[in-house]
Amino acid sequence: MSAKPFQVNDLAAHHASTAPRRELVEDTGNKRQAQKAKREVDAGDFHLARVSDCTDAMRSVALFYFLPRLGLSLVSEIQFRSDVTVELVRASANDADVLFAARVSTQGEQTLESAKSSDADTAKRDKGLINYLMRDRHGSPFEHNSLTFYVQAPIFVFREFMRHRIASYNEESGRYRELRPVFYVPGPERKLIQVGKPGHYEFQDGTAEQTALVEQETMAVTRAAYEAYQRMLEAGVAREVARIVLPLNIYSSMYVTMNSRSLMNFLSLRTQREGTHFPSFPQREIEMVAEKMEEFWAELMPLTYESFNANGRVAP
Ligand SMILES: Cc1cc2nc3c(=O)[nH]c(=O)nc-3n(C[C@H](O)[C@H](O)[C@H](O)COP(=O)(O)OP(=O)(O)OC[C@H]3O[C@@H](n4cnc5c(N)ncnc54)[C@H](O)[C@@H]3O)c2cc1C
Protein backbone atom coordinates (compact mmCIF):
# COMPACT_ATOMS: atom_id res chain seq x y z
CA MET A 1 0.00 0.00 0.00
CA SER A 2 1.44 3.40 -0.94
CA ALA A 3 2.43 5.56 2.01
CA LYS A 4 0.46 8.78 2.18
CA PRO A 5 0.35 11.17 5.12
CA PHE A 6 -2.68 10.59 7.27
CA GLN A 7 -5.55 12.63 5.99
CA VAL A 8 -8.90 13.06 7.51
CA ASN A 9 -10.43 14.00 4.25
CA ASP A 10 -13.99 14.89 3.69
CA LEU A 11 -14.85 14.85 7.37
CA ALA A 12 -18.56 15.32 7.29
CA ALA A 13 -21.14 15.79 9.93
CA HIS A 14 -24.84 15.41 10.26
CA HIS A 15 -26.68 18.02 12.18
CA ALA A 16 -28.70 16.64 15.07
CA SER A 17 -31.92 18.24 14.01
CA THR A 18 -35.17 16.83 12.71
CA ALA A 19 -34.25 17.74 9.15
CA PRO A 20 -30.66 16.45 8.95
CA ARG A 21 -28.34 18.94 7.33
CA ARG A 22 -25.02 17.71 6.00
CA GLU A 23 -21.97 19.90 6.01
CA LEU A 24 -18.40 19.22 5.06
CA VAL A 25 -15.51 20.07 7.33
CA GLU A 26 -12.35 19.84 5.29
CA ASP A 27 -9.30 18.73 7.16
CA THR A 28 -5.92 17.63 5.94
CA GLY A 29 -3.13 16.34 8.04
CA ASN A 30 -2.81 15.19 11.55
CA LYS A 31 -4.33 14.79 14.94
CA ARG A 32 -4.07 18.51 15.72
CA GLN A 33 -5.98 19.35 12.59
CA ALA A 34 -8.48 16.61 13.28
CA GLN A 35 -9.05 18.13 16.70
CA LYS A 36 -9.61 21.47 15.05
CA ALA A 37 -12.18 19.82 12.83
CA LYS A 38 -13.83 18.36 15.89
CA ARG A 39 -14.06 21.78 17.52
CA GLU A 40 -15.79 23.03 14.41
CA VAL A 41 -18.08 20.06 14.50
CA ASP A 42 -18.87 20.70 18.16
CA ALA A 43 -19.45 24.36 17.56
CA GLY A 44 -22.07 23.47 14.99
CA ASP A 45 -23.76 20.99 17.34
CA PHE A 46 -22.87 18.10 15.09
CA HIS A 47 -22.69 14.67 16.57
CA LEU A 48 -21.29 12.44 13.89
CA ALA A 49 -18.40 12.46 11.51
CA ARG A 50 -17.48 10.31 8.58
CA VAL A 51 -14.21 9.68 6.88
CA SER A 52 -13.94 8.68 3.28
CA ASP A 53 -11.38 8.83 0.55
CA CYS A 54 -8.75 7.27 2.79
CA THR A 55 -6.70 4.17 2.17
CA ASP A 56 -7.52 1.12 4.29
CA ALA A 57 -4.52 1.80 6.54
CA MET A 58 -5.61 5.38 7.05
CA ARG A 59 -9.14 4.31 7.81
CA SER A 60 -7.78 1.92 10.43
CA VAL A 61 -5.71 4.67 12.03
CA ALA A 62 -8.72 6.95 12.02
CA LEU A 63 -11.04 4.23 13.25
CA PHE A 64 -8.94 2.81 16.04
CA TYR A 65 -6.85 5.76 17.16
CA PHE A 66 -7.89 9.29 16.34
CA LEU A 67 -11.64 9.19 16.12
CA PRO A 68 -12.39 7.34 19.39
CA ARG A 69 -10.11 9.80 21.21
CA LEU A 70 -11.95 12.66 19.62
CA GLY A 71 -15.33 11.21 20.41
CA LEU A 72 -16.06 10.86 16.72
CA SER A 73 -17.06 7.78 14.83
CA LEU A 74 -16.23 6.38 11.42
CA VAL A 75 -19.28 6.07 9.29
CA SER A 76 -18.89 5.99 5.55
CA GLU A 77 -21.51 8.21 4.08
CA ILE A 78 -24.57 7.07 5.97
CA GLN A 79 -27.64 8.23 4.16
CA PHE A 80 -31.10 8.41 5.67
CA ARG A 81 -34.17 8.29 3.46
CA SER A 82 -37.88 8.37 4.14
CA ASP A 83 -39.08 7.30 0.71
CA VAL A 84 -39.00 4.28 -1.57
CA THR A 85 -37.98 3.87 -5.20
CA VAL A 86 -40.09 2.00 -7.72
CA GLU A 87 -39.22 1.94 -11.41
CA LEU A 88 -41.00 0.07 -14.16
CA VAL A 89 -38.13 -1.74 -15.84
CA ARG A 90 -40.04 -3.64 -18.48
CA ALA A 91 -43.65 -4.38 -19.26
CA SER A 92 -45.64 -6.35 -21.72
CA ALA A 93 -49.08 -5.55 -20.45
CA ASN A 94 -52.23 -4.02 -21.89
CA ASP A 95 -55.96 -4.59 -21.85
CA ALA A 96 -55.84 -6.29 -25.25
CA ASP A 97 -53.90 -9.17 -23.66
CA VAL A 98 -56.89 -9.84 -21.41
CA LEU A 99 -59.41 -9.66 -24.25
CA PHE A 100 -57.26 -11.83 -26.47
CA ALA A 101 -57.05 -14.54 -23.83
CA ALA A 102 -60.75 -14.33 -22.95
CA ARG A 103 -62.04 -14.42 -26.52
CA VAL A 104 -60.17 -17.57 -27.41
CA SER A 105 -62.90 -19.41 -25.47
CA THR A 106 -65.60 -18.26 -27.86
CA GLN A 107 -63.82 -17.19 -31.04
CA GLY A 108 -60.83 -19.50 -31.23
CA GLU A 109 -57.49 -18.35 -32.63
CA GLN A 110 -57.15 -14.66 -33.53
CA THR A 111 -54.51 -11.97 -33.58
CA LEU A 112 -53.74 -9.86 -30.59
CA GLU A 113 -54.62 -6.71 -32.56
CA SER A 114 -58.04 -7.97 -33.59
CA ALA A 115 -58.81 -8.88 -30.01
CA LYS A 116 -59.13 -5.19 -29.14
CA SER A 117 -61.65 -3.29 -31.19
CA SER A 118 -61.48 0.33 -32.21
CA ASP A 119 -65.09 1.37 -32.87
CA ALA A 120 -67.28 2.68 -30.07
CA ASP A 121 -69.63 -0.30 -29.89
CA THR A 122 -66.93 -2.87 -29.60
CA ALA A 123 -64.91 -0.68 -27.23
CA LYS A 124 -67.95 -0.78 -24.97
CA ARG A 125 -68.07 -4.55 -25.35
CA ASP A 126 -64.36 -4.77 -24.46
CA LYS A 127 -64.97 -2.85 -21.29
CA GLY A 128 -67.99 -5.01 -20.51
CA LEU A 129 -66.04 -8.21 -21.06
CA ILE A 130 -63.22 -7.13 -18.75
CA ASN A 131 -65.76 -6.08 -16.16
CA TYR A 132 -67.53 -9.43 -16.41
CA LEU A 133 -64.26 -11.34 -15.99
CA MET A 134 -63.35 -9.22 -12.98
CA ARG A 135 -66.78 -9.38 -11.34
CA ASP A 136 -67.19 -13.13 -11.78
CA ARG A 137 -63.56 -13.77 -10.92
CA HIS A 138 -62.52 -15.43 -14.15
CA GLY A 139 -58.94 -14.66 -13.35
CA SER A 140 -56.78 -16.51 -15.85
CA PRO A 141 -57.15 -14.02 -18.76
CA PHE A 142 -55.42 -11.48 -16.52
CA GLU A 143 -52.29 -13.61 -16.42
CA HIS A 144 -51.07 -13.14 -20.02
CA ASN A 145 -48.90 -10.13 -19.33
CA SER A 146 -45.85 -9.19 -17.36
CA LEU A 147 -44.55 -6.21 -15.38
CA THR A 148 -41.01 -6.02 -13.99
CA PHE A 149 -40.28 -3.44 -11.31
CA TYR A 150 -37.04 -2.31 -9.71
CA VAL A 151 -37.66 -1.56 -6.05
CA GLN A 152 -35.49 0.06 -3.38
CA ALA A 153 -37.05 -0.13 0.06
CA PRO A 154 -36.06 -0.98 3.62
CA ILE A 155 -35.51 -4.66 4.23
CA PHE A 156 -38.51 -4.95 6.55
CA VAL A 157 -40.66 -4.10 3.52
CA PHE A 158 -39.00 -6.88 1.51
CA ARG A 159 -39.71 -9.36 4.24
CA GLU A 160 -43.43 -8.65 3.85
CA PHE A 161 -43.23 -8.35 0.08
CA MET A 162 -41.74 -11.77 -0.43
CA ARG A 163 -44.68 -13.45 1.27
CA HIS A 164 -46.38 -12.87 -2.07
CA ARG A 165 -45.36 -16.08 -3.72
CA ILE A 166 -46.97 -15.41 -7.09
CA ALA A 167 -44.13 -13.16 -8.17
CA SER A 168 -40.52 -13.61 -9.21
CA TYR A 169 -37.77 -11.95 -7.22
CA ASN A 170 -34.07 -11.23 -7.41
CA GLU A 171 -32.54 -9.22 -4.57
CA GLU A 172 -29.07 -7.78 -3.97
CA SER A 173 -26.81 -9.92 -1.84
CA GLY A 174 -25.28 -9.03 1.50
CA ARG A 175 -22.90 -11.96 1.07
CA TYR A 176 -21.39 -10.93 -2.24
CA ARG A 177 -21.13 -7.19 -1.70
CA GLU A 178 -20.68 -4.75 1.12
CA LEU A 179 -24.09 -3.30 1.89
CA ARG A 180 -24.48 0.39 1.21
CA PRO A 181 -25.16 2.56 4.25
CA VAL A 182 -28.60 3.73 3.21
CA PHE A 183 -31.22 3.53 5.94
CA TYR A 184 -34.87 4.34 6.41
CA VAL A 185 -36.08 6.85 8.95
CA PRO A 186 -39.79 7.64 9.09
CA GLY A 187 -40.60 11.07 7.66
CA PRO A 188 -42.48 13.65 9.70
CA GLU A 189 -45.75 12.76 7.94
CA ARG A 190 -45.55 9.09 9.04
CA LYS A 191 -48.36 8.38 11.48
CA LEU A 192 -46.93 6.94 14.69
CA ILE A 193 -49.76 6.08 17.05
CA GLN A 194 -51.56 2.78 16.68
CA VAL A 195 -55.14 2.56 17.94
CA GLY A 196 -57.80 -0.12 17.59
CA LYS A 197 -57.66 -3.86 17.74
CA PRO A 198 -55.30 -6.28 15.97
CA GLY A 199 -56.17 -6.56 12.30
CA HIS A 200 -58.06 -3.25 12.33
CA TYR A 201 -55.47 -0.81 13.52
CA GLU A 202 -55.75 2.82 12.69
CA PHE A 203 -52.83 5.18 12.83
CA GLN A 204 -52.75 8.74 14.08
CA ASP A 205 -50.14 11.49 14.05
CA GLY A 206 -47.52 11.39 16.76
CA THR A 207 -46.61 14.38 18.86
CA ALA A 208 -43.59 16.50 17.92
CA GLU A 209 -41.69 14.81 20.79
CA GLN A 210 -42.56 11.34 19.52
CA THR A 211 -41.55 12.26 15.99
CA ALA A 212 -38.20 13.59 17.22
CA LEU A 213 -37.68 10.54 19.43
CA VAL A 214 -38.31 8.10 16.57
CA GLU A 215 -35.86 9.96 14.38
CA GLN A 216 -33.15 10.27 17.03
CA GLU A 217 -33.37 6.66 18.22
CA THR A 218 -33.52 5.28 14.69
CA MET A 219 -30.48 7.28 13.63
CA ALA A 220 -28.47 6.50 16.75
CA VAL A 221 -29.04 2.74 16.55
CA THR A 222 -28.42 2.75 12.82
CA ARG A 223 -25.09 4.52 13.20
CA ALA A 224 -23.96 2.25 16.00
CA ALA A 225 -24.92 -0.85 14.02
CA TYR A 226 -23.26 0.33 10.83
CA GLU A 227 -20.07 1.15 12.69
CA ALA A 228 -20.05 -2.34 14.18
CA TYR A 229 -20.53 -3.75 10.66
CA GLN A 230 -17.61 -1.66 9.42
CA ARG A 231 -15.38 -2.69 12.33
CA MET A 232 -15.98 -6.34 11.59
CA LEU A 233 -15.27 -5.89 7.89
CA GLU A 234 -12.11 -3.94 8.75
CA ALA A 235 -11.02 -6.86 10.92
CA GLY A 236 -11.46 -9.28 8.04
CA VAL A 237 -14.79 -10.84 9.09
CA ALA A 238 -16.86 -12.21 6.20
CA ARG A 239 -19.68 -9.99 4.92
CA GLU A 240 -22.25 -12.71 5.60
CA VAL A 241 -21.30 -12.67 9.29
CA ALA A 242 -20.75 -8.94 9.72
CA ARG A 243 -24.16 -8.13 8.26
CA ILE A 244 -26.02 -9.84 11.09
CA VAL A 245 -25.79 -6.66 13.18
CA LEU A 246 -27.47 -4.45 10.58
CA PRO A 247 -30.96 -3.25 11.39
CA LEU A 248 -34.16 -3.85 9.44
CA ASN A 249 -34.25 -0.27 8.22
CA ILE A 250 -31.33 -0.82 5.83
CA TYR A 251 -32.37 -0.47 2.20
CA SER A 252 -32.21 -3.34 -0.20
CA SER A 253 -32.98 -3.52 -3.89
CA MET A 254 -34.69 -6.09 -6.04
CA TYR A 255 -36.37 -6.85 -9.30
CA VAL A 256 -39.86 -8.20 -8.97
CA THR A 257 -41.97 -9.50 -11.84
CA MET A 258 -45.70 -10.03 -11.64
CA ASN A 259 -48.63 -10.41 -13.98
CA SER A 260 -51.70 -8.27 -13.50
CA ARG A 261 -53.59 -10.98 -11.64
CA SER A 262 -50.85 -11.43 -9.05
CA LEU A 263 -50.41 -7.66 -8.90
CA MET A 264 -54.11 -7.25 -8.10
CA ASN A 265 -53.78 -9.80 -5.31
CA PHE A 266 -50.80 -7.85 -4.00
CA LEU A 267 -52.57 -4.47 -4.26
CA SER A 268 -55.73 -5.76 -2.61
CA LEU A 269 -53.67 -6.72 0.44
CA ARG A 270 -51.04 -4.00 0.55
CA THR A 271 -53.10 -0.87 -0.05
CA GLN A 272 -55.82 0.59 2.09
CA ARG A 273 -58.69 2.20 0.20
CA GLU A 274 -62.21 3.30 0.99
CA GLY A 275 -64.87 1.08 -0.51
CA THR A 276 -62.88 -2.11 -0.94
CA HIS A 277 -64.85 -5.31 -0.39
CA PHE A 278 -62.20 -6.73 1.90
CA PRO A 279 -60.37 -3.86 3.61
CA SER A 280 -56.74 -4.49 4.42
CA PHE A 281 -54.53 -2.71 6.96
CA PRO A 282 -51.01 -2.84 5.55
CA GLN A 283 -47.86 -1.37 7.01
CA ARG A 284 -47.50 2.10 5.52
CA GLU A 285 -44.04 1.50 4.04
CA ILE A 286 -45.08 -1.47 1.87
CA GLU A 287 -48.15 0.53 0.89
CA MET A 288 -45.81 3.28 -0.37
CA VAL A 289 -44.23 0.72 -2.71
CA ALA A 290 -47.61 -0.69 -3.73
CA GLU A 291 -48.98 2.76 -4.57
CA LYS A 292 -46.12 3.46 -6.96
CA MET A 293 -46.51 0.07 -8.63
CA GLU A 294 -50.22 0.73 -8.97
CA GLU A 295 -49.60 4.04 -10.78
CA PHE A 296 -47.49 2.32 -13.45
CA TRP A 297 -50.00 -0.46 -13.88
CA ALA A 298 -52.98 1.92 -14.13
CA GLU A 299 -51.32 3.62 -17.12
CA LEU A 300 -50.69 0.34 -18.90
CA MET A 301 -54.04 -1.37 -18.36
CA PRO A 302 -56.66 1.36 -17.81
CA LEU A 303 -59.74 -0.81 -18.44
CA THR A 304 -58.52 -3.56 -16.14
CA TYR A 305 -57.56 -1.00 -13.54
CA GLU A 306 -60.94 0.72 -13.68
CA SER A 307 -62.71 -2.60 -13.42
CA PHE A 308 -60.54 -3.68 -10.45
CA ASN A 309 -61.61 -0.55 -8.58
CA ALA A 310 -65.25 -0.78 -9.65
CA ASN A 311 -65.42 -4.33 -8.29
CA GLY A 312 -64.12 -3.56 -4.82
CA ARG A 313 -60.45 -4.19 -5.54
CA VAL A 314 -60.85 -7.95 -5.26
CA ALA A 315 -58.26 -9.91 -7.21
CA PRO A 316 -60.10 -12.10 -9.75
C1 LIG B 1 -52.24 -6.67 6.60
C2 LIG B 1 -51.49 -7.96 6.56
C3 LIG B 1 -51.04 -8.53 7.74
C4 LIG B 1 -50.34 -9.74 7.73
N5 LIG B 1 -49.91 -10.29 8.90
C6 LIG B 1 -49.21 -11.44 8.89
C7 LIG B 1 -48.75 -12.03 10.10
O8 LIG B 1 -48.97 -11.52 11.18
N9 LIG B 1 -48.04 -13.19 10.02
C10 LIG B 1 -47.80 -13.81 8.83
O11 LIG B 1 -47.17 -14.86 8.80
N12 LIG B 1 -48.23 -13.28 7.67
C13 LIG B 1 -48.92 -12.12 7.66
N14 LIG B 1 -49.34 -11.58 6.47
C15 LIG B 1 -48.99 -12.24 5.22
C16 LIG B 1 -50.20 -13.01 4.64
O17 LIG B 1 -50.57 -14.07 5.49
C18 LIG B 1 -49.85 -13.56 3.25
O19 LIG B 1 -48.76 -14.44 3.36
C20 LIG B 1 -49.48 -12.48 2.27
O21 LIG B 1 -50.42 -11.45 2.30
C22 LIG B 1 -49.43 -13.06 0.85
O23 LIG B 1 -50.72 -13.32 0.41
P24 LIG B 1 -51.06 -14.50 -0.59
O25 LIG B 1 -50.72 -15.82 0.01
O26 LIG B 1 -52.48 -14.28 -1.03
O27 LIG B 1 -50.09 -14.16 -1.80
P28 LIG B 1 -49.36 -15.17 -2.80
O29 LIG B 1 -48.39 -16.00 -2.09
O30 LIG B 1 -48.85 -14.31 -3.90
O31 LIG B 1 -50.51 -16.11 -3.30
C32 LIG B 1 -51.54 -15.62 -4.16
C33 LIG B 1 -52.71 -16.59 -4.13
O34 LIG B 1 -52.26 -17.84 -4.65
C35 LIG B 1 -52.86 -18.90 -3.93
N36 LIG B 1 -51.80 -19.67 -3.27
C37 LIG B 1 -50.48 -19.37 -3.24
N38 LIG B 1 -49.81 -20.33 -2.59
C39 LIG B 1 -50.71 -21.24 -2.20
C40 LIG B 1 -50.64 -22.45 -1.48
N41 LIG B 1 -49.49 -22.92 -0.99
N42 LIG B 1 -51.75 -23.14 -1.26
C43 LIG B 1 -52.94 -22.70 -1.73
N44 LIG B 1 -53.10 -21.55 -2.42
C45 LIG B 1 -51.99 -20.84 -2.65
C46 LIG B 1 -53.81 -18.25 -2.93
O47 LIG B 1 -55.08 -18.15 -3.52
C48 LIG B 1 -53.22 -16.90 -2.73
O49 LIG B 1 -54.15 -15.91 -2.32
C50 LIG B 1 -50.06 -10.38 6.49
C51 LIG B 1 -50.52 -9.80 5.31
C52 LIG B 1 -51.22 -8.61 5.32
C53 LIG B 1 -51.68 -8.00 4.03
Cβ–Cβ under 8 Å, residues 311 and 268: no
Check pLDDT > 60 for residue 169: yes
Q: Does residue 197's CB lie within 6 angstroms of at least one atom of ligand 1?
A: no
Cβ–Cβ under 8 Å, residues 101 and 206: no
Q: Does residue 165's CB lie within 6 angstroms of at least one atom of ligand 1?
A: yes
Question: Which of 133-137, 163-167, 197-201, 308-312 is the least confident region?
Answer: 197-201
Question: Which of 46-50, 96-100, 132-136, 207-211 is the least confident region?
Answer: 46-50
pLDDT confidence band for 174 (50 / 70 / 90): very high
pLDDT tens track for 246-297: 999 999 999 999 999 999 999 999 999 988 999 999 999 999 999 999 999 9
What residues act catalytically?
A: 270
Q: Does residue 281's CB lie within 6 angstroms of at least one atom of ligand 1?
A: yes
Q: Whose CA is nearest to atom 3 of ligand 1?
A: 282
Give CA separation, 222 vs 39, 115, 216, in Å: 24, 54, 10
| pLDDT at res. 202 | 87
Mutating to test ligand 1, I would choose from 166, 263, 276, 284 the residue with most ligand atoms within 8 A of its C-beta, which is 166
Domains of the chain listed by start with CATH number: 4-73 (no CATH), 78-316 (3.30.1360.170)
Number of Cβ within a 10 Å radius of residue 139: 16
